[in-house]
Amino acid sequence: AAGIVVAGSGQAGFQLAASLREGGFRDPITLVGDETALPYQRPPLSKAYLAGKTDAEGLFLRQPGFFAEHAIAHRPGLRAVAIDRAGRRLQLSDGQSLAYDHLVLATGARNRPLPVPGADFPNVRQLRGLDDADALRASLDAARSIVVIGAGFIGLEFAAVAAARGLSVTVVEAADRPMARAVSPEIGQFFRTAHEEWGVRFAFGAGVTAITGREGRATGIVLADGRELPADVILIGIGVLPNRELAAEAGLPAEDGVRVDAFLATPDPAISAIGDCARFPSPFARGLSPDGTVRIESVQNAIDQGRCLAARLNGKPAAYGALPWFWSDQGPHKLQIAGLSGPGDPSVVRGSGAAFSVFRFRDGSLSAVESVDRAADHMIARRMLAAGTPLTPEQAADPVFDLKALAM
Ligand code: FAD
């Protein structure tokens, strides 16, 4: 048998391969990845790894021996360039091709480019892979002033690390608050204040019109209102685009992500998609998009989709319905999110001061819980959201109401 070929050896592709073997899959498994490193986890790249608190070894999902032991052929440094659906072959960047019985697209996402002049200066950086993190870490050694474009998770995690090193940091954001697409105004406000206490400056409602430079290096940015901010390192963190081109060029539906059904299958029964690149129907996305589909960029989603698809390919199909959850570490604070909120979902705050949770509601039901340094709330929220336990806003707001008892 030709077995299973996986395009992309990141979090999702790796998990699929490992779970296939765990579930007893016997045919060949080939993991094709365009990066050169062993499969690794990305979250520390903007946290402990960037801060120099862990080395590359600490990022690897498994040691090198794992792949041979489990007969998983890891082919690093190779790009999948085209799918021959009729012939069931995946064309590779080295001119060869691989036959498959089933092809899994786990190509992840790439950074969204900032379309302004000067964005290609070498000290204008992005952060997605280990190479990016190494370059960024090295450039911090000589840096004094940093501009971060985009107050999303990665931009803010980076800002916290840079500020802790004593660098001058300004975060520029088009929206009027941090993490505006992902969290409530209350959480945004908390992190804004925290970052300001660490010395980070913010410019909200600010569009970037150009990156200026001299002698081949960026020296600062220009805002739409004419203001200029000097910088010796600029990080662009304005979100990602799904790597959907392989699917789209093979004639598969792939607007804003490779379209899959509840079983993570594309319309071609021999091709599935998982992780950051996949757009799928989710029971937790009701009311968030016209067709109830989402694309989720998280470790949880990559792992759970890898497991779900592995089970199907091992003969135990089940619809994907795992609860989305996520975390972000900024300075000493841990933000944990369970569920999926929409920007208009009303908030109810539980707790106060430095440790609190924001309960979000949509159409009267709990949609998400965002916790700052309240790990117990997060675990309870995961249980309630997964089980669909009814909770009213009044109960959530009542500090003596026993959430834990309700969730049991
Ligand atoms: P990826 O891990 O991106 O893997 C896809 C792989 O496919 C990549 O190696 C890519 O180079 C490769 N590839 C793409 N196209 C091809 C091709 N044509 N041929 C061969 N290979 C190809 N999530 C959290 O839940 N919590 C966090 O705190 C968090 N922090 C993060 C911090 C950073 C800096 C980054 C970048 C991400 C973070 N994430 C976090 C998100 C999380 O890492 C991703 O959601 C997860 O890695 C998605 O897994 P994936 O396998 O779908 O994609």
In this structure, what token pair is assigned to residue 144? 């004094």
CA-nearest residue, atom 7 of ligand 1: 8
Give mean pLDDT, residues 158-173.
97
CB 304 near ligand 1, within 6 Å: no
Percentage of the chain with pLDDT > 70? 100
pLDDT value at 354 more than 90? no
Yes or no: say if 342 and 171 are a contact pair by the CB < 8 Å rule.
no
Q: Confidence class of residue 407 from pLDDT cuts 50, 70 and 90?
A: confident
Distance 50 CA to ligand 1 centre (A): 16
Distance 226 CA to ligand 1 centre (A): 36
pLDDT value at 373 more than 90? yes
CB 326 near ligand 1, within 6 Å: yes
H or E stretch covering 7: strand 4-7
pLDDT value at 408 more than 90? no
Distance 224 CA to ligand 1 centre (A): 32
Quickly list DSSP for 313-375: HTT------PPPEEEEEETTEEEEEEE---TT--EEEEEETTEEEEEEEETTEEEEEEEES-H
pLDDT value at 248 more than 80? yes
pLDDT value at 349 more than 90? yes
CB 128 near ligand 1, within 6 Å: yes
Nearest atom within ligand 1 for CA of residue 8: 7
Order of all β-strands in the sheet with 325-330? 325-330, 333-339, 365-372, 355-362, 347-352
pLDDT tens-digit map of 255-311: 999 999 999 999 999 999 999 999 999 999 988 999 999 999 999 999 999 999 999
Distance 133 CA to ligand 1 centre (A): 13
pLDDT tens-digit map of 135-150: 999 999 999 999 999 9
pLDDT for position 91: 98
Which residue out of 137, 235, 258, 299 has the highest number of ligand 1 atoms within 8 Å of its CB and is therefore the one to mutate? 299
Give mean pLDDT, residues 251-255.
97
Residues 244 and 256: their CA atoms lie apart, in Å, by 8
CB 143 near ligand 1, within 6 Å: no
Place of tokens 């392989």: 246
Nearest atom within ligand 1 for CA of residue 277: 52
CB 127 near ligand 1, within 6 Å: yes
Give mean pLDDT, residues 196-219.
97
pLDDT value at 353 more than 80? no
pLDDT for position 161: 97
CA-nearest residue, atom 12 of ligand 1: 8
pLDDT for position 286: 87
Q: What's the chain's average pLDDT?
A: 97
CB 112 near ligand 1, within 6 Å: no
pLDDT for position 330: 97
H or E stretch covering 302: helix 299-313
Helical residues (DSSP H) of 119-208, grouped into ranges: 130-141, 153-164, 185-197
CB 34 near ligand 1, within 6 Å: yes
Count of beta carbons in the 10 Å neighbourhood of residue 355: 15
- Judged by DSSP in three states, 95 sits in coil
pLDDT value at 350 more than 90? yes
